[in-house]
Structure 1
Amino acid sequence: GVLQEGQQWGAEHAPEIDAFAANEIEVIRGPGTLLYGSGAIGGVVRVQPKALPTGVTLQGEIASNAFANNRQGALSLMVEGGHLAVPFAGQFGWRLQATARKAGDARAPNYFLPNTGFREMDYSAATGITRSWGTSTLTLSHFGTDLGLYIGAHVGNLDDLERAMRNAFTTDSFSYRINAPKQSVTHDVVAWNANLRLSSTSHLEASYGYQLNDRREFDSRGFAAGTRRPAFALKLHTHSVDLKYHRSWTDWLTGIAGVSGMRQGNLSPGRSFLIPQYRLYSGGAFALQTAKRDRLSVTTGLRLDYRYQHAYQYGAPVVVSPDDVRSNTGVSGTLGGTLAMTESWSVSGTAATAWRAPNANERFSQGVHHGTAQYEIGDSTLTPERSYNLEGTLRHAGVRSRFELSAFANRIDGFIFLQPRAPVITVRGTYPAYNYASDNALLRGGEATLELVPAAWLQLYANVNVVRGIDRATSTPLYDMPADRATASVRLFTPTSNRFVAPYLEVGTTVVRKQDHLPAATIYRLPTTGYGLLNFELGASAIRLGRVTLQPNITVRNVLDRRYRDYLSRYRLFVDDVGRDVVLRITAPLGSDRRRF
């Protein structure tokens, strides 16, 4: 695959990916992050589609979701096929998929949040061949969405801002209408991947990707209000190439070496300024080796990256952004190992250093970020972050139990963050303001997970997460660190029958502690009260209805309709988080293959 390249700097900018197209989602930490570039300080989320079929088949899947809270409906249709022998192509597979979503205003326990609906339309096509020399796959995809932005966070003056923070603008009525302020985002991808067998012990993996991310944001105030012209627009063009050589040197030593490169151009055809137009080039070379002997596995790797960015001058009566050229070179390295102490117990650890150059928004932002309803100010003097990370994990994987305890300490020099400052008054309204700053930081934390299966009909689960971040110079807490969180659930299974396969009932809870690890100089009074949510789930692996097989699931989130505000919510200054939500999911395989995929 290719690295997702969109306007990823926004806290509310979710990856432009069709969730129905994902077959596997994996969080990569440790030595494996070296394969993905210099910016992977905290890890990588890898989204994998299902492999294309190669045998003679014609099959598909229809999936639908319904959400009660915002009355969202989602429908996805996938059809795929395979042929054993196509002249000059070998085994041939293909897939077509289309997804549509529509949602209206979200509902907090006591009111609706006006103008928070969205629409989404995605489609993709993939084709691939498999021959004796390897595989080749071509994928085309389109993601498109229109999102309303909570209108109560966009106010006209300082008095309105203070009033909105005390008594937010809400409504008792529901609507599917999407008015300004809003966002319109499309993301198009052309990706080619190939795997060439060189010998019985080596193969070559190559990929090329082109991505076009088009983001437009519309204002409810100012010169563009009431028109079809966006307040600002961004078009990001990205070309990327990757080449990886995989080799098994012996039965206990394997390695990967490769190079990667990217060319990126950001255009800003809108009339307002948030970030400048820029050109970016980057390249890297890396090597990763893994040795496995008996119960011990050791992985070590090294990566060299170069990054060049030219930000073009922007001049206006209010905003001036200078022409700026900057290049950065850095080395990342990692050493990790796993020791299997017994058949069910193992311990692993990683020591790593990595770096990340500041993004254009962190250095040059000057304007209203509509999605988060805040005014952001960059700092052109920011330098790359450098992290030194230690982490360790103790694991147990038994027949009826699984336990994992992990801890990390990450020292980051030049840690970049958003620092609150006094509100800013503009012709488009008055907004909470934040400026990008950097400090030498220390992030520490731990996670514990326990799963127990005392009986065939009972499964227990618990998880606890704790993270702390401090400024090393002053020992004060950092902004926007997550609050302590714990989840627990009990799942009950009933016997499989002729109609129901592995039916289950699950009751769970999420408890979030009050966030009191805050800087003393916080300008905006933050609602940091802890909260607890009760959740419910009912489902089955399959339901047989004659010749039709369904995979159903009903989930109820926040069963008690509890009022709460999460500390990391960008709208926490104004409104509560969403209330009770009932989610119905149904998946039905189509064609000759009735397996879930």
Structure 2
Amino acid sequence: MKWRSRFYLFLKKAVVAGLLLTPGLIVAQEFSDTTHRLHEVQISGKKKIASSSQAVEVVSGEKLNGSSGLILADVLKELPGISSLKSGGTIAKPVIHGLHSNRLLLLNNGVRLEGQQWGAEHAPELDPMLAERIEVIKSAASVRYGAEAMGGVILLQPRVLPVGAGLNGGINLTGISNGRGVTGSAMFTGGLSGLKGFGWRLQGTLKRSGNIHTADYMIGNTGLAERNYSAALGYTNKKARYELYYSHFGAIYGIMYTAHVATLEDIESRIAAGQPFEEYGFTYQINVPRQNIRHDLLKANFHYDFAPERTFDFTYAYQRNHRREFDLRRGNREALPINDLLLSTHTLDMMLGARNKAGSGASLGINGMLQINNNVPGTLANTFIPNYDSFSAAIFFARNWLTERAEYELGLRYDFKQFDAAGFRYAYGESDDITEQYYGGKRKFHNLTGTAGAVFRLGGMVRLISNIGAGWRAPSANELFSKGLHHGAGLFEVGDPGLQIEQGYKWTNGLSYVDMPLELRLDLYAQYIRNYIYTRPDKSFRQTMSGTFPVFRYRQTAAFFRGTDFSVIYRFTYGLTYMFNASLVIASDLNNGGYLPLIPGGKAGSRLRLELGQTRKVWKDFCLQLNHEYTFRQGRFLQGSDFAPPPPGYHLLGISVGNTIPIANHRLGLDITAENLFNRLYKDYMDRYRYFVHGQGRNLMLRLNYRF
């Protein structure tokens, strides 16, 4: 096939380019005979995820264990500057400084996640239980990670493969009251005594929950079911490391009934009421409308040390994303999906690194990606997005310099993308004549991006970072060509084939102070985005065979984002710690005046934590934590631009208590958490279903984890 020949030609050229670039990069460096390791790639398999001058948040250790059973967006929501875009109580995706979806990159074990992430209600196909550490880059990181990293990057790092004999791992069990959910997860790692350097890892998660409830009522068809697993094999010697990795993500999500209604009068009355007219009971059954998703990833990685200061990395990955969406249909067709999308993605990454004896270094890399998206025949419905082929290639170079009191970084990247789409839809004329409308075409995009940053150590306790980064992304298939019902979102969306690429420029500055018992951090950022693509309701409704839905159209404007993240930690005596964080983002429409829609309001959170420490042997890991979060009403809102004004702000209180008990050389952890402790009835502006339902009510979680 044509795409295969294209890919093989690209692969051949990429390998040749990598071999040719190696001598040039080596000659460009001044090497010493010391044993410094390049920060980006270490022989242990851990990678330095972000540059020093980028704003980064981390979730790891006990904090990550304490979020078992949650989806990725909920794991990250407590971090300053991070929020979530929800579609009911079970589907959510992360938001960084007001940006989400195709403006963020998510990496699973070093591979950029490629699914149908353009949908606001398309949750990331990632299992957070896989990760031992999650890093969130809040700066524009397109130079290192490519197009669509203009808003930031989220990286899930699994446990490093062992290189010696032995067996260790852990088992997590979580019970959730709201939805009567159960999650079980296990991970095992080990090696072979007869084969030094060989390591393996196995991991799996099962999750099931039923209808969730607000403070006052049950929401129909909001169950979910997940089955995820992964496996990795690796071999490490003095010079090289080889790794083979596979992961599978499978999920079924219910779409609440209330988002799909029959008539204009019905939808208007439901928006006015703000909650369902029907009463639902609890069930684990997931009916239509629903989403069925399967995502498979296969990765092969090779790392080689030419010398202690010169390294080479090669990664090939294949991903297969199969998304099927089901809805109420006439003629007993509910067994047929209304959308059946199959996306195949090949990615190739090669990087050379070098570092001199002073600690300064450079990296040079090339990236390539080939995607084929097909609508699987047999749905008997119009396709929401067309079939398309997409090919992209890039080359980047990054350099850093170290001095006694500072570190400086520069980077440059060039990207090229070719997008070829072909689709058709049935259209009805005034006389009820049915015609076929063909659409699509070939588009080419290219862009040059760069980054510059610095880290200043202003004494032993004060650190200042500053980073300016440029990013970009091409419009996605739905933004260009959609014209129909987006079933998962419950919206009728209309694209614009004339959309241009987005170009963003983000400046982040961070000031941190650490002098026990006090830690302070303040981040300030500003981002200008040219040709920012967004949807806005046009105040009309469209009648379809599935019901009546509000119409949203894609538009472009010049956007200006700015805001701040602030956090403070103070450790009192006797194991008492107070934590506070707050964040604010403002997004202005520079062309039309006013503010952009669907931008999170400000939020502030406080946590008071008590740890007993070494006072008692059995209870030394005991902790008690009180949580308070306040989400402000989004007051920066253009009147008349939406079907309902932003809801009022709300407080949520929570509490958690936990302890870890040593059992021989193993550890058993027990944690009980209550969210929305006082069962408050509220609505979140960042919930796309807020027109029809309230947010989740009280939720109790019981977690058991066993480590050996």
Code of the residue aligned with 1:25 in structure 2: it is: I
Equivalent residues, number: 585
The reply to whether residue 314 of structure 1 matches residue 417 of structure 2 is: no
The reply to whether residue 156 of structure 1 matches residue 262 of structure 2 is: yes
**How far apart, in 1, do the equivalents of 2:205 and 2:211 lie?**
20
The reply to whether residue 544 of structure 1 matches residue 662 of structure 2 is: yes
Q: Which residue of 2 aligns with 1:190?
A: 298
**How far apart, in 2, do the equivalents of 1:382 and 1:32 lie?**
23
**TM-fit CA distance, 1:493:** 1.4
**TM-fit CA distance, 1:29:** 3.8
Q: Which residue of 2 aligns with 1:118?
A: 224
The reply to whether residue 361 of structure 1 matches residue 478 of structure 2 is: yes
Structure 1, residues 275-310: CA drift from partner, whole Å, max 9, x if none? Answer: 111000001100111111011111110000001000
Please list every run of 5 or more consecutive structure 1 residues that lacks an aligned counterpart in the other structure.
Answer: none
Please list every run of 5 or more consecutive structure 2 residues that lacks an aligned counterpart in the other structure.
Answer: 1-109, 429-435
**How far apart, in 1, do the equivalents of 2:120 and 2:425 lie?**
27
Q: Which residue of 1 aligns with 2:341?
A: 234
**How far apart, in 1, do the equivalents of 2:697 and 2:501 lie?**
40
Q: Is the 8 A contact 1:313 1:322 kept in 2?
A: yes
TM-score, normalised to structure 2, is 0.81
Q: Which residue of 1 aligns with 2:160?
A: 51
Equivalences for residues 21-420 of structure 1 within 5 A: 21-30=130-139, 32-86=141-195, 90-167=196-273, 168-222=276-330, 227-269=334-376, 270=379, 271-318=381-428, 320-420=437-537
Equivalences for residues 549-588 of structure 1 within 5 A: 549-588=667-706
Q: Is the 8 A contact 1:122 1:144 kept in 2?
A: yes
**How far apart, in 2, do the equivalents of 1:459 and 1:272 lie?**
57
**How far apart, in 1, do the equivalents of 2:676 and 2:344 lie?**
41
**How far apart, in 1, do the equivalents of 2:626 and 2:643 lie?**
36
Structure 1, residues 511-561: CA drift from partner, whole Å, max 9, x if none? Answer: 011111111231401342110100111113x21356752122221111011
> Any idea what SS the aligned residue of 1:160 has?
helix
Q: Structure 1 residues 321 and 449, CA, compared in 2 at 3 Å: closer, same or farther?
A: farther
Code of the residue aligned with 1:199 in structure 2: it is: A
Q: Is the 8 A contact 2:288 2:334 kept in 1?
A: no
> Any idea what SS the aligned residue of 1:23 has?
strand
Q: Which residue of 2 aligns with 1:524?
A: 643
**How far apart, in 2, do the equivalents of 1:311 and 1:509 lie?**
48
**How far apart, in 2, do the equivalents of 1:386 and 1:253 lie?**
30
Decide which structure has greater helix share: 2
Q: Is the 8 A contact 1:30 1:334 kept in 2?
A: no
**How far apart, in 2, do the equivalents of 1:252 and 1:98 lie?**
40
The reply to whether residue 510 of structure 1 matches residue 619 of structure 2 is: no
Structure 1, residues 353-409: CA drift from partner, whole Å, max 9, x if none? Answer: 221111111111122222221111111111001112222111112222211111111
Structure 1, residues 255-280: CA drift from partner, whole Å, max 9, x if none? Answer: 11100000000011233321111000
Select the residue among 584, 605, 608 that pairs with 1:466: 584
Q: Is the 8 A contact 1:543 1:550 kept in 2?
A: yes
**TM-fit CA distance, 1:321:** 4.7
**How far apart, in 1, do the equivalents of 2:698 and 2:402 lie?**
49
**How far apart, in 2, do the equivalents of 1:427 and 1:262 lie?**
38
Q: Is the 8 A contact 1:31 1:300 kept in 2?
A: no
Q: Is the 8 A contact 1:249 1:255 kept in 2?
A: no
The reply to whether residue 454 of structure 1 matches residue 572 of structure 2 is: yes
Code of the residue aligned with 2:339 in structure 1: it is: F
Consecutive aligned runs of 4 or more in structure 1 exceeding 4 Å deviation: 545-548
Q: Is the 8 A contact 1:85 1:91 kept in 2?
A: no
TM-score, normalised to structure 1, is 0.95
**How far apart, in 1, do the equivalents of 2:597 and 2:438 lie?**
27
- Structure number with higher relative contact order (C-alpha < 8 Å, ≥ 6 residues apart): 2
Code of the residue aligned with 1:238 in structure 2: it is: T
**TM-fit CA distance, 1:148:** 0.7
> Any idea what SS the aligned residue of 1:389 has?
strand
